[in-house]
A = this chain, B = another copy of it.
């Protein structure tokens, strides 16, 4: 298979798919809408999961696991939530197959094994979890509950896009229960900041933190906070959401607690999640026409060593000379691969690891051994230099830090050029079609205006930034007064 990928400039969407497939991150499957996450993609997800999980635990959360299925009667209990997800859910109606009498060797759904009540494959778990919390919460002493779940969820999608839009995806969903509104609000914002920190520190992906407009809110939430990232093609990507659910689910499932004064109160809720969609965001933030570019903190392989050897003897010499370096790197917990596969040329390997976004590549051959040097290439800037073997481990450790910082710096520089303030609807449409990116504009705060703009331009309000500056202005669409700018964009 040729490793060449479609250039970004030519077809961004094909460029993206080419990278996903050719870097070995994911694959299409025989199940419409579902993907296979391949080992390299899954290793990336494991690194993301582990980093997030640590942050969740450090902020006092614990993991648990709730059923995959939601009985229809529970699913429909919180009406807005149900309405939001009913149109895209997989429904289990039977619990047995039987031999098809008219079709030798084939099976058919056994009509005698129809479920009394249909089961929805969870598109999100508020319903099943709040029905469970009912049994866990009696008094204020049982609060807060700070639980997270790592799970698969299913939202039926007709159009598939690997990682970005698939019927089944992996995610985490935090579901917390609190005695007071204040505490729930604080949790909502705290987790938004955890997501922001993860995006910036680990993914090297700048994000804007904000609040969704009513139109874009999670079904069943009172408020949805989000982190919004900007992709290289000028489209925004919602990278994580944290919802203040008010008492909606507590009321739907009758979850109350006795407060310190022995008064019965409804419980306050939050939920928050990020998914394998983040992998899509990561790809589109850093990669280039040579393939994937990965930030060192998340890269499954941080350093690859490619020996250049004409024969077994040379290979053995390279390996022997590299061993102390490898030991040192491993002692520093650097994820390392020594690729001595003999059925591929060094050139093939260079292209392969470039495609896979390995941050640092070391090539070393007989001449290097003589000179006590290696050739060191960094993936982010695609530069190469000859380095002495002395002090190399420390140098590589430092270089990984530098690459991480450089990727973030590059992305934030690009992102800054992608926020355009406009003051008229004409300019809005012009910027949207010619440049894209975030458009910072005044909005009158009504759903009608937002809806009209969306219908006319396909752009949506990505968020009302948390750091919105108070500024009197006029809505670009209605001309009505506005107190500050919001961010519009085309979005994934």
Chain A interfacial positions (CB closer than 8 Å to B):
27, 29-31, 34-39, 41-43, 45-46, 62-72, 74-76, 79, 82, 86-99, 105-107, 109, 118-121, 128, 131-132, 135, 141, 147, 151-152, 154, 156, 168, 170, 343
Contact = CB atoms under 8 A, between A and B. Distances in A.
A60 to B, nearest CB: 12
B98 A90 contact: no
Contacts of A99: 86
Contacts of A62: 39, 42-43
B170 A31 contact: no
Contacts of A64: 36-39, 41-42
A107 B75 contact: yes
Nearest to A66: B36
A68 B168 CA distance: 8
A152 B131 CA distance: 21
B90 A30 contact: no
Contacts of A97: 72, 75-76, 82, 86-87, 89, 91, 120
Contacts of A92: 90-93, 121
Contacts of A87: 96-98
A154 B95 CA distance: 10
A82 B63 contact: no
Contacts of A131: 30
Contacts of A79: 105
28 contacts: A29-B67, A29-B128, A29-B132, A30-B74, A30-B132, A31-B67, A31-B69, A34-B68, A34-B69, A36-B65, A36-B66, A36-B67, A42-B64, A43-B62, A65-B170, A68-B152, A69-B90, A72-B97, A75-B107, A86-B97, A86-B99, A89-B95, A90-B95, A90-B119, A91-B95, A91-B97, A91-B109, A96-B156
User: Which of A46, A64, A67, A90 neighbours the largest number of chain B CB atoms within 10 Å of its CB?
Assistant: A67
Contact of A42 (B63, B69, B105): B63
A72 B99 CA distance: 12
B105 A76 contact: yes
A69 B82 CA distance: 23
A34 to B, nearest CB: 4
Contacts of A46: 63
A27 B135 contact: yes
A154 B38 CA distance: 22
Given A68-B154, A94-B91, A96-B87, A118 B128 contact: no
